[in-house]
Chain A
Amino acid sequence: MNKLMLTNEAVARGAYEAGVKVVSSYPGTPSTEITEFVAKYPEVYSEWAPNEKVATEVAVGASIAGVRSMCCMKHVGVNVAADPLFTAAYTGVNGGMVLVVADDPAMHSSQNEQDSRFYARSAHVPMLEPADSAEAKEFTKKAFALSEEYDTPVMLRLTTRVAHSQSFVELEDRKEFAPKYFEKNISKYVMMPAMARKRHLVVEAREDKLAADVNNSEFNRVEWRSKKLGIVTAGAVYQYVKEATDASIFKVGIVYPLAIDAIRKFASEVDDLLIVEELEPFIENQLKAHGVKCHGKEIFGKQGEYSSASIREKLYGIKTPAPVAEVPARPPVMCAGCPHRGVFYVLHKLGITVSGDIGCYTLGAQAPLSAVDMCVCMGASIGMAHGFDKADSPLKRKMVAVIGDSTFIHSGITNVINAVYNKGTSTTIILDNSITGMTGHQDNPATGKTIKGEPTNKLDLEALLKAIGVDSVVVVDAYDLAAVEKAVKEETAREGVSVIIARRPCALLTKKYPPAFTVNSDKCRYCKACLRIGCPAIENIGGKVRINKELCVACGVCTQLCKFSAIEEGVK
């Protein structure tokens, strides 16, 4: 049967058909849907882990226990997972283990543009890169076999354009494997210096063998067309190259180790060799280091995504139409009714410096809220605020860290422990919207539900913070501006570590809202106070303000700003 499938679904399907038993992941665009689709297969155990390190460790454990396992994450998630990954490369596997990573060239939904291919090289594990849904399913299945054949974790790399594109996939049946026994073997599974030194030799020998074997690998293929130009490429870019040029193509399916000799042979049969790869010159520099004459980055650059059009323009000077109209930008915004909006309004009003974090609430940096002053990575908000405190910054008593519930659990907790242990003074606001929001509503340990929607133990944030030794824990309704303001003033004035939990579920979790609010034009003086919260439902139309009833969810935050009581509850 043929099915039109998102590549992320195809990866899930491939793992399912390969008999995967355990999948553990942390959500992250553009990788999230893989694990959501895995969760639909009753034969596979799946879970949301609190972060990518935990997810990878669960997969490593399941593999050593003897079953096929997988963990999925976005590119920056591999930074978190790098610790287990690098040493799992030493222990090798028992059941096949696959780590799926989705890079985000052009940063559609990310804070940096790092290239995860370097992780495969640093960790000395093979990496496969499919170019569409069908290949993603095929490569995922083969990744498990490759993992077992070479006794190594295998990375499967996607990029946004591959992960979030759909094409037809041929479905096959699942193959069940009997679990292998775990046999005690401390020289393989206990990585301490004496054993690890021996395993390092094994890793090197394995990598040498792989580097030789990939020259005849079924993952790579040559498509002969014009021999005037030969192009080495992989992933989504392969599709653009195929469309934009008539060059012969060396299509790389296993990007690490790179098939140097096979590419050298390909190069000898074409007049000129070009490498077309997004992000870093990963393939190009390896070829150059091996004395293969080629070029690429000086034409295409390291930033953003490519397309058939951009390749045609760079190679042949063929231009495509450009935007003609000057139109206002439409950046992403916090939704109408977003519980973060009121908190940021208060912080901006009070002139508080805000150490931000990763999630929908990073959008609080934009006008008109303009509240967030810094954002680096998951969990960093609290550590950075502690850094301001210990740097004795003049801002330190007029500063808060803001972090979402899921991000706090991901890697904020250890930062609070650090601040408490080291006698810091800082205030953290946990924006608890009871869900992992930005990635599209995944459950987490604080929601009380598993990935399959089953009830489970619910993490009690207040009890956790008290157990850590936080001096003051205050809970407020995120929609209540006066309560938020009072809490921020009191807690930032306090010596010691304090946490404000601003609680209110994500507005998109509710499907039924009260009727939209309306502006009573007799009372409205057009003072524009309500526009300061940047709600997409409040429209400024030539001398008056209007509420868009298609967007308003009647959160009531704007009514707290109107001095003339002009914003009124709607009627059914």
Chain B
Amino acid sequence: MTNILIVGVGGQGTLLASRVLGAIAAIEGKDCKLSEVHGMSQRGGSVVTHVRIGDNIAAPLVTPGEADFILAFEKLEALRWGYYLRKDGKLLVNDQEIMPMPVITGAMAYPDGIYAKLAEEGRDTVVVDGLKLAAEAGNTKAVNVVMIGALCAIEGVKYEVALEAVRRSVPAKLLAVNEKALVAGYKSVGK
């Protein structure tokens, strides 16, 4: 059983990312359950999508402390959801900051030194410059696919399988950009 949590800010494409992972499970002939968030939280709120791949999955939700991977599309969200990671799990973080409203209004400050805090909490963290790589691929919205590429590289998913999963999940006209984003994601982490 592989438990993956995808976290980010509403609008960053966590749903699409989870669907690519679901498509990978389908191609690899594994069982899979996903749990998504729609509606109000999608409006710039903190969003979390649960992905479970394996055999005989019951609940669609990952239990705190049991995630093998957390894919964080935003730094603060990595800090917020880090407690879901298991002791030997890996946290992949897109190196991007998006200010939440309490920070914009001045009620709170955006935390400093997030990576140091994650290290203190003992999270094995991999930082990916997803926004830059997505921009180079041709669309900053493709951060989600960059992050999927990074996860697939670490998890050892064959590139051809990941590409087919992306092809099944995105509109045909956006495939070229997303293919570049996927390649960039694969290359972003040391093998």
Say yes or no for A363: interface residue by CB 8 A criterion: yes
In the complex, which residue of chain A has the Cβ closest to the Cβ of B41? Answer: A332
Question: In the assembly, what is the distance between CA of A240 and CA of B43, in Å?
Answer: 29
Does B61 lie within 8 Å of A161, measured CB to CB? yes
Which residue of B has the minimal Cβ distance to A244?
B59
Which chain B residue has the least Cβ–Cβ distance from A240?
B59
Known contacts A4-B23, A243-B59, A360 near B43 by CB under 8 Å: yes
Given A167-B32, A324-B83, A531-B104, A308-B65 contact (CB < 8 Å): no
Q: For window 112-162 of chain A, which residues contact chain B by CB distance below 8 Å?
A: 132, 161
Q: Are A165 and B106 in contact (CB under 8 A)?
A: no
Q: Which residues of B contact A240 (CB under 8 A)?
A: 58-59, 61
Residues of A within 8 A of B (CB-CB), count: 59
With A320-B65, A536-B99, A536-B101 in contact, do A164 and B36 touch (Cβ < 8 Å)? yes
Contact call B101/A308, Cβ cutoff below 8 A: no
- Are A325 and B101 neighbours in the complex by a CB distance under 8 Å? no
What is the bound-complex CA distance between A406 and B110, given in angstroms? 37
Residues of A that sit less than 8 Å from B by CB: 2-4, 6, 29-30, 32-33, 108-109, 132, 161, 164-168, 236, 239-240, 242-243, 307-309, 320-325, 327-335, 360, 363, 366-368, 438-440, 528, 531, 534-536, 538-540, 548, 550-551
How many positions in chain B have a CB within 8 Å of any CB in the partner chain? 58
B138 near A: Cβ within 8 Å? Answer: no
- The closest CB in chain A to the CB of B106 belongs to A540
The contact of A109 among B26, B38, B101, by CB within 8 Å, is B38
Residues in A whose Cβ lies below 8 Å from that of B26: 2-4, 168
A366 to B79, CA, bound (A): 24
Contact present for B83 and A321 (CB under 8 Å): yes
Interface residue B71 (Cβ < 8 Å from any Cβ of A): no
- Complex CA gap A441/B42 in Å reads 13
Q: Are B34 and A166 in contact (CB under 8 A)?
A: yes
B98 to chain A, nearest CB (A): 7
In the bound assembly, the distance between CA atoms of A373 and B104 in angstroms comes to 22
B167 at the interface (CB under 8 A from A): no
Residue contact A6 to B32, C-beta cutoff 8 Å: no
* Separation of A540 and B104 alpha carbons in the complex (Å): 6
Q: Shortest beta-carbon distance, B165 to chain A, in Å?
A: 11
Given contacts A167-B32, A321-B65, A540-B104, contact A332 B59 (CB under 8 A): no
19 other A-B residue contacts (CB within 8 Å) besides A4-B22, A108-B40, A332-B41: A165-B34, A166-B34, A166-B35, A167-B33, A167-B34, A168-B31, A168-B32, A320-B65, A323-B80, A323-B83, A324-B82, A325-B80, A327-B79, A327-B111, A328-B102, A367-B101, A367-B105, A531-B105, A534-B105
